[in-house]
Structure 1
Amino acid sequence: MLHKGLAQTISDTTTLTLLPGEHWWGGVVRDGHLMPFDSAYSIDLWANNQGNQIQPLLLSDKGRVIWSESPIKYAIASGTIKVASYGSEIKFAHPDRSRTLKDAFQYASQKYFPASGKLPHQLLFTKPQYNTWIELTYNQNQNDILTYANKIVENGLPAGVLMIDDNWQENYGKWQFHPGRFHDPKLMIDSLHQLGFKVMLWICPFVSADSDIYRALESKGYFINEVDTKLPLIVRWWNGASAVLDFTNPGAVRWFQEQLRSLSDTYNVDGFKFDAGDSYFYKDPLKSFKEVTPNEHTLLFQQFGLDYPLNEYRATWKMGGQPLVQRLHDKGHNWNDLQKLVPQIALQGILGYPFNCPDMIGGGEYGSFINLDAVDQELVVRSAQVHALMPMMQFSVAPWRVLDDRHFEIVKKAVEVRDQYLPVILDLVEKAAQNGEPVVRLMEYEFPGQGYHQIKDHFMLGRDILVAPVLQQGITTRAVVLPKGNWEWKGKTYKGGKTINIQVDLEDIPVFSRK
């Protein structure tokens, strides 16, 4: 029997008065650069994930926590936070001895989204990832994929995870290699394995309405339906209009699992990039096998990634502590978006998502790389340098195609710098699987109450590595805020507790180690 989706009904509300000097983070990863929240901010998380991860969680640098098991909406204005929940009690906590942002996170993590003890595949962290999207866009084909992979190795970059992006398949929902573009997909994947790559395939929860698989799945009742017509709901997304699989239906879940297993068993595919699944695709009115919120439809799509250590998600809901790779939403090829990487990926960490990827190096808009005269080579270099000290780094645009020799060599040097700090990154990743703590951390998280809450262009790798990447065009000096203690960079020791100015060349990634 089909059920109507749950109504958007407020079940609980609360208002908190801000403490003197209190600052708040949480909720929406895409707005991480706006945090801590200004004096006026509001958002509604019902069917609204803003194209990225969300969590019904708010955290304060005074150790206070707000949580609900259901979607929330909240507004900050005039010294208060007003919160409403759709379906569950709002839980407010200020535990004893909880005085900092770290205290608040650790309490929330242990109580609401404890670490699973499991990790995504280690290769996602140890080597760069390569996504075929920008180079091939909708012309994913066997010959060009092999050419891309071979050029990675020929140009001196290490083999890692290779993601074959959208349009490798016959149709949305018909998850078979397109026979016109892939004459022997098993041979292709075997060849990629021989080069040292693991292979992931792009996949989504949509089914093309004019395909034969649509008719078969409709007859089984595996789609979300419209309320009035009882026909499959057709949603508009960035690639057109499609039906949506109903993962509240056990039959649809089994069918989708079978598609993934078939690709793994038949072709030795190693894992999957799970795209779409955004909660805004599941807005009422709709009918599904079981009554759930739009956000829970998103959550149900996430269950499949737990079976594959090689996974990636861009849109998730309430999956803190789980071994899922969380990618930031698509970034443009511009300096403004580059400056959002640090606060957004740091926010992922305190929402319980430590296994994170800062999108594609240089940005994910393929149109920016068609005209080479429009490519900002300095931006690509600085983007690679930011990625190099984060949990993962992902290439898509081929740097050897869009960069001159000098800039490409600097990008390769960034990969080498990453290798130097890889033991630190891996140690933090492994600990995150056990205790949930972020890998990339806000300055306020490690150095509370010292006025660092507004710093959005530095980040900590654990407690002892401070990274101050260059995020502005054409600068030759960089201001770095050093906490108290002694910090070393390029063989020189700096006394902390103050702001220093350093010379930065194009090759430089300012990384300070606490001594």
Structure 2
Amino acid sequence: MSSIAIRPWMPLCMLTLAVLAGCGKAPEPADAAKSAGHAQKLADGVIVRLDHSPQQVRLQAVDERIVHVTAVPEGAFDLPASLMAVKSGGDTLFTVDETPDTVTLKTPRLSAQVSLHDGAVRFLDAAGKPLLAERAGGRSFQPETVEGKPYYTVRQRFDSPADEAFYGLGQHQDGQMNYKGEDVELAQHNMDVGVPFVVSTRNYGLLWDNNSITRFGDPREYQPLSQTLKLYDADGKAGGLTASYYDAGGTLKLKRVEKQPDYQYLKDIAQWPAASPAKTTAKVVWEGSIEPTVPGVHKLRLYASSYAKVWLDGKLVYDDWRQNWNPWYHNLRLTMDAGSKHQLRIEWLPNEGYLTLLHLDPLPGDEQQELSLSSEVGHAVDYYFIAGDNLDQVIAGYREVTGKATLLPRWAYGLWQSRERYKTQAEIFDTARRYRALGLPIDNLVEDWNYWPEDAWGSHEFDKARFPDPKGMLDQLHAMHLQLMISVWPKFYPGTANYKELDAKGYIYRRNVEKGERDWIGNGYLSSFYDPYAKEARAIYWRQIHDRLGVLGIDGWWLDASEPDIQSNLDIAERKLRMGPTALGPGAAFFNSYPLMHTTGVYQGARASTPDKRVFILTRSAFAGQQRNAAATWSGDVASRWSNLHDQISAGVNFSLAGIPNWTTDIGGFALEPRYEKPDAADLAEWRELNLRWFQFGAFTPLFRSHGQFPYREIYNLAAPGTSVYEALAYYDRLRYRLMPYIYTLAGDTWWKDGTIMRGLVMDFPGDPKVRDIDDEYLFGPAFLVAPVTAYRATARPVYLPAGTRWYDFHSGKSYEGGSSIDAPAPLERMPLFVRAGAIVPTGPAIQYTGEQPDAPIVLLVYAGADGHFTLYEDEGTSYDYEHGHYSRIPLAYDDATGVLTLGRREGDGRGAPARRQFVIRRIDAGHPNADGADASHDVRVGYNGSEVKVPR
């Protein structure tokens, strides 16, 4: 056995004779490999040659807890540079050992072993306890040719014990929280964000370094029903389903047998029967039976827009609505025996929408329960194994590899008011004035798309008829302590000078124009998107938006359609062609990474142009590493439905667990059913309640943002001042601002501590197995447990309070022991909200914007029942001074046994925070429940000048 400890800076004469022939010149790599048997030692790791296989495996020690694994089917490791990773190796001390069966790379914290027989890699902690193991024979490379270039379809399978749970992977809006045994496709789409980073309850994460469409779980694409099932019509005849097409009067226009519903994409609409034209068909029904050829749990996936219902064996399993132009998936499961028949019925009101139903047979054995990642296009199996003592350390490791999360400006954490869309400069001013006149706190207004002349998308110019003085508008908003974010797309009309400049250098995707596709504006215009994979293209794009918009004083950049959505509802094969070829290769090879490259150009350009002003980017899509670009993500064009509200919770939590801390949603849902446009009394009541419940949830998400189509979403437009709904909306707006010292500390911790704002329960309560599958609760920072109400007319809801602590109802002060479920009160005006014992929650005064009264007293809500810690963070709020030591951190520690609260010595130079300030200590316990933290009768006031202060009970 050979063993060597290596650091990149180590003098050659310190290396053992296992690597060098002496203290002179290092051998060439071939000599090193020969001298070490199967191990070719590198400065940061080792390359392992296998027995009887052309495969090679490379291990690189990124740090003590992170190992970069790369496996190639043959040849060398001359691979393209990673887009997501900023660090692929490191200077960590490690050893390499070889036995007849394995090569092991070992750091002080973990080991990675490569089997010389099949190349499978095992990971063990410092004590030798297994953490994760590739399944023997679980790595595969299938040669593929993409646009004439050689690639592989790659897959890696890992063993997974039954009690393991998985999270992360980005944002997927189908109600999934724990991904164990689930299928998740990572393919950027409006509402769906693929981030190939998964975390485990075994305290590790896998970052899968691949830019193409990737699948967690089943590697197969879902198939048409007729390819995997036997179909029978309504009369029991084999061959297909009975399809019935009705007009608006209920008259049957056509009845025929179809292989399946097949209206998934634009190209499929051409199949619509002439006997019942799409524009006149009011209802389609498919009915019959399905029969599997293999037993097990079968997977069905509905893809639908407009109103649709699905029954399986007479049970209604889906009943929902989506806007017709934005269909989405819904997973269904049905246990079936081979040869058994099961009734299927689908009812659809098409309204020019889309619908299909797809299927997959069960995977063999326990393969569905494995950890499996596969990608359509790649050169290698390439991933990072990241270990930690907890999930916070795992996420910190992800950011070590992909880049730290930059701190957003403080105003970004205030209220955002937006609509689709403010059509004139006057409408923006009216909104600003109304909020200020009503005393409703707000920091940000948003100008959505189409502020440009109709025929000039991509010009980045305001239509002078509707926006006569953009610079003056910005100046007046800033004088009112309001910021403006503006929508800027990667889309261009060919007639614009910006298109022509980019196209002349080959930086426009031309296929959409060549196909003659016209968009939905006016009579329709030709358009396409630019290619951000070229550094020069990114620089040109930034210059174009900066010279037209940035110079006006725009505060934030809304990068819409960043999937990219060049034309909605194209089939995937055509999408791959329309988004390429990129400067780096075929669109299929870079399907998921467009938003990363797009935000990279804007972030780097903005920091260079305005180095003292924090960048803020909002984008509809994201990819691994995007947190380093000051980019927040919102959940896309979700519908104003209770089901969509519910699905936002797991979507936001898993997005956060994928390592990107700033996330938001369109409060109230973006697109809404026609019944809400001109509502009767009953629909108006539901509309207001839906918006209020969504607003309550939004107040406890990283970014607090209201946006949507008509009716308007401003607080005063949702309900009249003085009404109960208005007062409840105003309460949560003001509560958000009262909590700003707490919230901005959470924001600061995303940079200082690699923190996560919207936290899955499993992060803080890993020892409580009951929290693993809860998909409608989460933690907002370390203190708050949030339980949104997602059912109409609900006045209570069950809430599970995790074990290991006591919990206080924030509104009533009543406390509960954790480890049990309660029926939590949820009157319309309040959302169930709990604070755990030991929490220290800094709160501020009633303010109208985040930068108001920075020297006001801070009220510390101290929840008795456990020891507690928190660190109050402050800085200047809008610059990057914090990166240079200009900040204030005040450690806070509560000793429950003595009742002493310690205000620790200030950390940092204190710039950006008052040198002296007042703290108000408000203890909350059984004797002083202090409902909603408002009872000041037992307050203790203390002064603070940066030195330690102990405040007794």
TM-score by length of 2: 0.49
Cα contact 2:498–2:544 (8 A) shared by 1? no
| Partners of 1:6 and 1:385 in 2: CA distance | 52
| Greater C-alpha radius of gyration | 2
Query: Between Structure 1 and Structure 2, which shows a larger proportion of strand residues?
Result: 2
Q: Paired residue for 2:370?
A: 80
Q: Which of residues 67, 71, 79 in structure 1 aligns to 2:207?
A: 67
Matched residue SS, 1:176: coil
In structure 2, relative to structure 1, the CA distance for the partners of 1:463 and 1:193 (3 Å cut) is: closer
Cα contact 2:177–2:774 (8 A) shared by 1? no
Q: Paired residue for 2:508?
A: 223
Cα contact 2:634–2:666 (8 A) shared by 1? no
1:284 aligns with 2:567: no
In structure 2, relative to structure 1, the CA distance for the partners of 1:155 and 1:233 (3 Å cut) is: farther
Q: Paired residue for 1:392?
A: 703
In structure 2, relative to structure 1, the CA distance for the partners of 1:17 and 1:314 (3 Å cut) is: same
Q: Paired residue for 1:477?
A: 796
| Partners of 2:822 and 2:493 in 1: CA distance | 57
Displacement after TM superposition at 1:466 (Å): 1.3
C-alpha deviations, 1:310-347, integer Å up to 9, x for none?
32111122224422112122221111111112211111
The percentage of counterpart residues that share the same residue type is 20
Structure 2 counterpart of 1:382, which letter? R
Cα contact 1:165–1:202 (8 A) shared by 2? yes
| Partners of 2:673 and 2:395 in 1: CA distance | 39
| Partners of 2:677 and 2:807 in 1: CA distance | 42
In structure 2, relative to structure 1, the CA distance for the partners of 1:248 and 1:477 (3 Å cut) is: closer
Q: Paired residue for 1:436?
A: 754
Structure 2 counterpart of 1:503, which letter? P
| Partners of 1:353 and 1:234 in 2: CA distance | 38
In structure 2, relative to structure 1, the CA distance for the partners of 1:486 and 1:27 (3 Å cut) is: closer
Q: Which of residues 694, 711, 718 in structure 2 aligns to 1:383?
A: 694
| Partners of 1:382 and 1:121 in 2: CA distance | 27
| Partners of 2:602 and 2:148 in 1: CA distance | 25
1:352 aligns with 2:625: no
Q: Which of residues 580, 586, 594 in structure 2 aligns to 1:297?
A: 594
Q: Which of residues 295, 308, 311 in structure 1 aligns to 2:617?
A: 311
| Partners of 1:65 and 1:254 in 2: CA distance | 34
Cα contact 1:203–1:273 (8 A) shared by 2? yes
| Partners of 1:200 and 1:479 in 2: CA distance | 38
Matches within 5 A, 1:413-428: 413-428=731-746
Give unmatched runs, 5+ long, in structure 1.
none
Structure 1 counterpart of 2:415, which letter? P
Residue correspondences, number: 497
Cα contact 1:124–1:160 (8 A) shared by 2? yes
Structure 2 counterpart of 1:471, which letter? T
| Partners of 1:233 and 1:304 in 2: CA distance | 28
Displacement after TM superposition at 1:7 (Å): 5.7
Q: Paired residue for 1:326?
A: 633
Q: Paired residue for 1:337?
A: 644
In structure 2, relative to structure 1, the CA distance for the partners of 1:260 and 1:446 (3 Å cut) is: same
| Partners of 2:562 and 2:706 in 1: CA distance | 23
Q: Which deviates further from its counterpart, 438-447 or 290-299?
A: 290-299
Q: Paired residue for 1:124?
A: 412
In structure 2, relative to structure 1, the CA distance for the partners of 1:234 and 1:462 (3 Å cut) is: farther
Displacement after TM superposition at 1:44 (Å): 4.8
Give unmatched runs, 5+ long, in structure 2.
1-145, 219-366, 567-574, 607-613, 708-712, 838-953
| Partners of 1:52 and 1:41 in 2: CA distance | 14
Q: Paired residue for 1:187?
A: 472
Displacement after TM superposition at 1:196 (Å): 2.1
Q: Paired residue for 2:166?
A: 24
Displacement after TM superposition at 1:294 (Å): 2.8
1:507 aligns with 2:808: no
Matched residue SS, 1:153: helix
Cα contact 1:30–1:329 (8 A) shared by 2? no
1:151 aligns with 2:428: no
| Partners of 1:153 and 1:389 in 2: CA distance | 23
Displacement after TM superposition at 1:411 (Å): 0.2
| Partners of 1:66 and 1:432 in 2: CA distance | 20
Displacement after TM superposition at 1:233 (Å): 7.5
C-alpha deviations, 1:341-374, integer Å up to 9, x for none?
22111111111111121x2221112666532434
C-alpha deviations, 1:433-475, integer Å up to 9, x for none?
2232210111111101312011111111222321222222212
Q: Paired residue for 1:34?
A: 176
Matches within 5 A, 1:234-253: 241-253=526-538
Structure 1 counterpart of 2:196, which letter? P
Cα contact 2:797–2:823 (8 A) shared by 1? yes
1:488 aligns with 2:808: yes
Cα contact 1:202–1:273 (8 A) shared by 2? yes
Q: Which deviates further from its counterpart, 327-336 or 296-305?
A: 296-305
1:407 aligns with 2:690: no
| Partners of 2:540 and 2:399 in 1: CA distance | 33
Cα contact 2:488–2:559 (8 A) shared by 1? yes
Displacement after TM superposition at 1:199 (Å): 1.1
| Partners of 2:150 and 2:623 in 1: CA distance | 17
1:452 aligns with 2:744: no
Cα contact 1:224–1:287 (8 A) shared by 2? yes
Query: Between Structure 1 and Structure 2, which shows a larger proportion of helix residues?
Result: 1
What is the Cα-based RMSD across aligned positions, in Å?
A: 2.8
TM-score by length of 1: 0.88
Matches within 5 A, 1:38-49: 39-45=181-187, 48-49=188-189
Cα contact 1:233–1:244 (8 A) shared by 2? no
Cα contact 1:10–1:84 (8 A) shared by 2? no
C-alpha deviations, 1:92-140, integer Å up to 9, x for none?
6374x65x65554444343x32424x21111011x20111325x4xxx2
Displacement after TM superposition at 1:481 (Å): 1.4
In structure 2, relative to structure 1, the CA distance for the partners of 1:82 and 1:494 (3 Å cut) is: closer
In structure 2, relative to structure 1, the CA distance for the partners of 1:78 and 1:477 (3 Å cut) is: same
In structure 2, relative to structure 1, the CA distance for the partners of 1:225 and 1:392 (3 Å cut) is: same
Matched residue SS, 1:481: strand
Cα contact 2:499–2:508 (8 A) shared by 1? no
Displacement after TM superposition at 1:497 (Å): 2.0
1:203 aligns with 2:203: no
